[in-house]
Structure 1
Amino acid sequence: MRSTGLEGRSVVVTGAASGIGRAAALQFALAGADVVVADLDRAGAGQTVKQIENDGGSAIGVIGELSEQAVVDEVVATALDAFGALDVLVNNAGIMDRMSALADTEDAEWERVIRVNLTAPFLLTRAALPHMLAAGRGAIVFTAAEAGLRGSAAGAACTAAKHGIVGLVKSLAVMYRSRGIRANAIAPGSTATGITFDVDARAHGPGVIGPGLGLSDRIAFPEEQAAALVFLASDAARNINGAVLPVDNGWCAV
């Protein structure tokens, strides 16, 4: 089996209690990495850690809201204390909005979605960068979304947040490519995860974009999205930087 270059690396995966994040944490561990499982869901994170350990891997959980600086600091400190480094950061945690059109987007919906989907990855990346820069290397991978590629895959809040993620990826790639840092993202299409949708089907936003969501005619497994995350973090992708990889069965090509 060809080495991925992930053996012995320290990897942080957010949103790792379920779905794409759990699948990614498991795959990184199978590739030989030590994994920090970060999530708000204590029980789910514990299950991920236990599964990794049962498979012979090494993992530790950090529980908390990743848009809070104290939790971000704990995640980074845990990686450094437990594994001696922070080599890979996977900013995967995210939530969906209510598909609200801008005029119908309430402050609470906007602030929650932006905080979880954009501010939290910003805070964690900012905290991880000094350690990666000191080491002269690092891979940062984000889970964006179809909403980061188009205006018809989510409401105003999630669309803005995921477009922001794409902007962060490109900015990171330009700013730090000469210092050994790579930043990339995947843009998943429909995937069987635990993310729930609180949508008022009678509202304007869902009525406009709902029909287009059916263009993705295949629902992916979380493991398929995770494989793309692991690839982008691996040495096989050493010359890929600033890219957003659709993993959507061609949805973005329609």
Structure 2
Amino acid sequence: MSEAKAGAPGEVTAGVLIIGNEILSGRTKDINLPYLGDRLHALGVVLAEARVIPDVEEVIVKAVQEFSRRFTYVFTTGGIGPTHDDITADCVAKAFGVPLIENPEARAILEAHYEPGMLNAARLRMARTPEGAALISNPVSAAPGFRMGNVHVMAGVPKIMQAMFDGIADSLVGGAPVLSRTVISNLPEGAIAEGLGQVQARYPALQIGSYPSFRAGNFGTSLVLRGSDAAELDRAAQEVFEMVKALGGDPKLEITDPSAPAS
């Protein structure tokens, strides 16, 4: 699966695959992506793409192969439980062209966790991994995730996923931390679009986004600048601030540097 990774030279990137029909149907609300985004950016890993996909073998296999080629790290959530529609392990094995096995280490973990006679065939499904995979510890409910190549396969239940990620975070090697500056504007997007585009052209290494809002009958815009060079980020943010002010707005500047999320 070797191929040039996405992102700027030297940039460490990640892709997230959120797997589950229940997410697509709206029955379950995903809260794993915001958590992963915060944690990865704090580690200096740029979350470059996230995709929600169904419990369909062909779709999962192709998505895993694509993301594994394109990104430094891949994280999947969902589909490693005990039921028939939990097929993520099967699909990752197919994506890497290796057999799916009952992992003896995973089985031992489950045997130690369940009372005698309680480890039935359904629960044993959670001991299956691609051959050669390394386990990801699950301190919440025992059933482990696993890593295959650069693909980290984790549970969909947020509390379990977060515990799994906490266990592997120290093994992730990131680039420079991603810093953020936000200029809060009381002007609508249409008033600032031209000037914002000019700032972006002067600072191509930065990511500059515009996010409109409508509150209490008034339009507003949050202008978010992201990058790893604090001095460059400060210069660009100041230019955006002055631009909004010159257009008659009342801008406010917020500085957001990465830190561990609140527990």
The normalised TM-score by structure 2 is 0.36
Higher strand content, 1 or 2: 2
> Which structure's relative contact order is higher, taking Cα pairs within 8 Å and 6+ residues apart?
1
The higher radius of gyration belongs to 2
